[in-house]
Structure 1
Amino acid sequence: MRHFENFPEGDVHELGSTRLTSEDIIGYARSWDPMPFHLDPVVARTSPFGGLVASGWHTGAVVMGQFVRALLADSSCQGSYGMDEVRFLRPVRPGDELRGRATVEAAAPHPRRPGIGTVRFVVEADNQRGEPVYRMRTRLLFGCVPAEAGAGGTARV
């Protein structure tokens, strides 16, 4: 299990990759962002994008899923203060592969809650060509390694 101490400033964590299909893009858009250029490839050709593109929120949801699976699910994460500077940097098209990474921008003990630390991440994704498509900052709360735990962050039995 990862704790606050496992996220030193400057660390970079690769989050994996996810390829989006037309079906993924249209399915998400039907439920959450039904703009015509997310729903209909024919209509999308006449849009400023020149073709079907994923919702920026879909891109963010995919990258958040990568972030949770790669780092947060097996951690002492206790929630987030929210997201800052969410940016959709380039359209994501069918067949694009999103490659996420999270960089620890800052880490500090919580000023009022003993045993808790805050970690600010820059979470980014590039497509298969290395072009940036998404970026956001978030600050999360993590429990510290329990006092009875060893150096590896696992409690001694």
Structure 2
Amino acid sequence: MTQAGSGPAAQPARPPVASDGKRWHLEDFTPGQRQHIGEFSLSKEEIIAFARQFDPQVFHTDEEAAKHSSFGGLVASGWHTCSRTMRALCDAFLLEAASGGSPGVQDIAWKKPVLPDQTIRIERETLEIKPSRSKPDRGMVLSELRLTNPAGEVVMTMRSWGMFFRRPQG
């Protein structure tokens, strides 16, 4: 993960695979680290299909009706944005991490609508690390995600804790 202020081009070096078969462990996180997670876009068809199944409000499902909504047009469901963000997190590092899951999201804010075919950029920052007092083989990492649109405007923020195991000894 990149250090704060090291610029957008810098990326964390991938740690070597440990004896548990994982790369990212509790020791690989420090407060202030930043990581570019990835980018995604949602087509009009994807927005409508997701919304019809999971969030069938008219500004997500009906392009014509959405023109008369407070958004003035079709927008992605915040839950769709969250789902794509979770996939990007898995692809970027969670599937290679000694992750023990998450006790939940601390807060989430949808600050601006995500429009069809916008490229959304995802950045992650480590805010805090809490080693476990009762289970020394693990700890908790507080991360903040910031999603921005092509104009650099923040469209979503999310803070959540994740459990990560320490690198195995030996």
Gaps of 5+ in 2: 1-22
Structure having the larger proportion of residues in strand: 1
Aligned to 2:52: 30
Alignment partners' CA distance in 1, 2:56 and 2:164 = 36
Aligned to 1:153: none
1:63–1:98 CA contact under 8 A, matched in 2: no
1:37 partner letter = F
Alignment partners' CA distance in 2, 1:4 and 1:131 = 31
Aligned to 1:45: 67
Secondary structure at 1:138 match in 2: strand
Does 1:119 pair with 2:141?
Answer: yes
Paired residues for 1:97-108 under 5 Å: 97-108=119-130
- Give the CA deviation at 1:108: 2.4
Does 1:54 pair with 2:76?
Answer: yes
- Give the CA deviation at 1:98: 1.1
- Give the CA deviation at 1:36: 0.7
Aligned to 2:166: 144
Aligned to 1:154: none
Alignment partners' CA distance in 1, 2:148 and 2:60 = 20
1:135 partner letter = T
Out of 110, 114, 118, the residue aligned to residue 96 of structure 1 is 118
Alignment partners' CA distance in 2, 1:39 and 1:54 = 9
Gaps of 5+ in 1: 149-157
- Give the CA deviation at 1:67: 1.4
Aligned to 1:68: 90
Q: Which TM-score applies when normalising by structure 2?
A: 0.85
- Give the CA deviation at 1:69: 1.2
Give runs of ≥4 in structure 1 deviating > 2 Å. Answer: none
Alignment partners' CA distance in 2, 1:135 and 1:85 = 8
Q: How many residues align?
A: 148
Secondary structure at 2:65 match in 1: helix
1:66 partner letter = A
1:54–1:91 CA contact under 8 A, matched in 2: yes
- Give the CA deviation at 1:83: 0.2
Deviations 1:22-71 (A, max 9, x none): 01100110111000110010000000100000011111111121112112
Identical positions, percent: 34
- Give the CA deviation at 1:12: 0.4
RMSD: 0.8
